[in-house]
Structure 1
Amino acid sequence: MKHFDVAIIGAGIAGASIASEIGAHRSVLLLEAEDHPGYHATGRSAAFWTESYGGPLVQPLTTASRDFLESPPPEFSSTGFLGPRGAINIARSDQPDLADQFLADFADNGLAMERWSWTQTAALIPELKPVWTQAVYEPDCCDIDVAALHAAYLRDARRKAVDLVCRAPVSQIRKSDGHWELVASGETYRATVLVNAAGAWADKVARLAGVKPVGIQPLIRNMVQIETDPPSTRDRPLVVGLDGSFYFKPEAGGSYWLSPHDEIPAEPGDVAPDELSVAMAIDRFEKVLDVRVMRVSRKWAGLRSFAPDRLPVIGYDIASPDFFWFAGQGGFGIQTAPATAKLARSLLLNQPMDECLRTIDTSLYAASRFS
């Protein structure tokens, strides 16, 4: 039975990033239940990076991740992971307070935001219907190459001798002689510290380990790709409803990716797109742009998982000090991955905080808040 300093359950963006951060300092086992890492959430992302997404308390982690995503260390990646996009957050004329509230929510965070008129917005999006008179423009919004970032974290973890084992769902976790023993696909592994990076399965992993769950709720987000007449233009911005009812962005080839911004409670598992949600996404899209939807070319659904307060859960469990939570990253886990992984490394290895975290109140994300 091989012994590791740290065993990480889950090889999505959470598990891969933390393995990369600590792999040079500890012996690390990375267990993944599926054939390939990132199947349920990471690989189904809408793939944008915008500082306002997730709210004012998540924003510091997103902002702290930007430098790494734009200019990663050369040994990590020869290229960055962000591309220019821009975002326009819009509301109807009968929702006059939403834009003001949005600006007020981020007034103290130093974000680049501009209040736009309908004329300004329509100059960038000519098909915009005139009822959408309220707008806030975020010039710093970017596309993020999710697949490349995830692959880079996995590659860096391998370079640091992390053992990745796929097709290894954990069926049993027990304590023996002060260490964790994990049974996965008939094999038994032993570790000093257990990291719970299991995403939608985080509470299930906690129960297996005899640790009190914190209330991680899996939610389904539906996405659909459509083709329109006229077709989309690739260089246009992400469009987000300030009432939280939709977002869409143009993609290569003249199509749009859109979502009704839904969150349907679910059990952890392989989720399929919901036809009603797909229809709802298209209906809301047609209320925003004066275009004709020609066909649906693709539809999919992914899981996101939130703690009760919708903030990440990062740190040792207060009742089980060798059980480390790295969960609850919701829909912002990819855009915050560099900062959250560096925070986890500092806690796991008892190291000083990384420079990018020095001004952040990291206690907001501590697992001990659920004690």
Structure 2
Amino acid sequence: MHDIIVIGGGIAGISVAARLAPQAKVLLLEAEESLAYHASGRSAALYESNYGLASTVALSKASANYFHEANGGYLTPRGLMILGQPDEYQAFLSDTKTLGLEQISITEAQALVPILNPDTVSHASYHTSAWDIDTDRMVQDFARNIRAEGGRIVLRSPVIALERSSKGWIVSTPNAHFEAALVVNAAGAWVDNLAKLAGLSPLGFTPLRRSMARIPAPGGHDVATWPMFFGVGEQWYAKPDAGALIVSPAEEDAMPPMDAWADDMVLAEGLARYEAMVTEPVSRLEANWAGLRTFSPDRHLTIGFHGEDPSFFWFAGQGGYGFQTAPAASQLAADLILGRASDIDAATRAALNPRRFLP
């Protein structure tokens, strides 16, 4: 018998299980053969605290100390730049203001990213307050914390049944049955499916595919110090990665929960939008992949007890913000579960509460 079963081994499930393990007997179940296999393993891995809705920004900012200080810190400098064409000026100004960037000249932008095409790039803005996240070390540190506190992590254990018991829930996998007083639903794209297994109302989460391609360093440049750079309205983005460049069309195509893969046509369209802003064409791909970013109907994260059952807790809808919100979001979830006061303000907590979806 466990106190709490956390279902889902992405950054959401791992982080909340680590927060709960010092105070409760915790079991983490993951369907795949490794942690962070789906969306968490396919993240752009950027910490940019101004990115997202107000509630997301609040969680990201509340996570800053953890990212900079915990376990020696998880961040390395990257920087962020937005690029616009002549007919995108108003949208460019809006994005620049939202993300807190400063306008720079095209010459300054080319000094940061030498392949920018001055014939098509007419507006640029930039700031240094964006960092790469060491996501793998973060996942492994949370997992280590779970085990150090006596918690269990069981892989290759998809949940096939959730049944009520006199003590709470019986959670069944193909190989075993587990019992706990509380279930935490951190199953990523599968969160609504899990609620249905429990006989509870789903909340209407939508998994949205985002594709990525890895291309060789353009023109043989050393891209290590380049910032991440976006098109206006996040129509595409590019980010250095291990000596190469990741380029994404930044699409949001609704998909069923699945092990997603890139759509060739969508990827080609995104690469064309990127190529229009640079002087170096894409000659080949080194790899491509896709992940599912799962959002609630209002795109706020969802953190709290199910309105129909206080023994079922939602930790869902991270969208593309799972890593950058994880430290504060997991602390909030643990505080709510354990009945402790939270440092997160009341307005943000209300925006995240699943009860907002009650009729």
TM over 0.5: yes
Give the corresponding residue for 2:112: 124
Matches within 5 A, 1:213-292: 213-227=202-216, 228-253=218-243, 255-292=244-281
Offset, 1:359: 8.0
Segments of structure 2 that go 5 or more residues without pairing to the other structure are none
Aligned counterpart for 1:96 among listed residues 59, 78, 89: 89
Counterpart Cα distance in 1 of 2:242 and 2:165: 53
Give the corresponding residue for 2:50: 52
SS in 1 for 2:63: helix
Q: Give the ranges of 4+ consecutive aligned residues of structure 1 lying more than 4 Å apart after TM superposition.
A: none
Matches within 5 A, 1:142-153: 142-153=131-142
**CA deviation profile, 1:322-363 (whole Å, cap 9, x unmatched):** 110000000110111001001101100011114xx3586221
Is the helix fraction higher in 1 or 2? 2
Counterpart Cα distance in 1 of 2:75 and 2:347: 23
1:352 aligns with 2:341: yes
Counterpart Cα distance in 1 of 2:215 and 2:98: 33
1:363 aligns with 2:336: no
Structure 2 letter corresponding to 1:242: V
Give the conservation status (yes or no) of the 8 Å contact 1:230–1:291: no
* TM-score, with length taken from structure 1: 0.92
1:43 aligns with 2:36: no
Counterpart Cα distance in 1 of 2:297 and 2:80: 28
Structure 2 letter corresponding to 1:122: Q
Segments of structure 1 that go 5 or more residues without pairing to the other structure are none
**CA deviation profile, 1:26-57 (whole Å, cap 9, x unmatched):** 11111111111111111111111112322444
Pair 360,118 (structure 1): closer, same or farther in 2 beyond 3 Å: farther
Counterpart Cα distance in 2 of 1:202 and 1:252: 33
Structure 1 letter corresponding to 2:223: T
SS in 2 for 1:63: helix
Moved more, 54-63 or 151-160: 54-63
SS in 2 for 1:321: strand
Offset, 1:117: 2.9
* TM-score, with length taken from structure 2: 0.95
Percent identical residues: 36
Counterpart Cα distance in 2 of 1:138 and 1:217: 32
Counterpart Cα distance in 2 of 1:49 and 1:331: 11
Give the conservation status (yes or no) of the 8 Å contact 2:55–2:348: no
**CA deviation profile, 1:140-188 (whole Å, cap 9, x unmatched):** 1001111111111111111111111111111111112251111112311
Give the conservation status (yes or no) of the 8 Å contact 1:232–1:251: no
Give the conservation status (yes or no) of the 8 Å contact 1:87–1:141: yes
Structure 1 letter corresponding to 2:93: D
Structure 2 letter corresponding to 1:31: L
1:198 aligns with 2:187: yes
Counterpart Cα distance in 1 of 2:127 and 2:295: 25
Structure 2 letter corresponding to 1:238: M
1:211 aligns with 2:200: yes
Matches within 5 A, 1:10-29: 10-29=8-27
Offset, 1:10: 0.5
- The number of equivalent residue pairs is 356
Counterpart Cα distance in 1 of 2:331 and 2:62: 10
1:114 aligns with 2:112: no
Structure 2 letter corresponding to 1:244: E
Counterpart Cα distance in 1 of 2:68 and 2:219: 34
SS in 2 for 1:224: strand
SS in 2 for 1:95: helix
Give the conservation status (yes or no) of the 8 Å contact 1:214–1:370: yes
CA RMSD of aligned residues (A): 1.6
Counterpart Cα distance in 1 of 2:122 and 2:355: 44
Pair 363,35 (structure 1): closer, same or farther in 2 beyond 3 Å: same
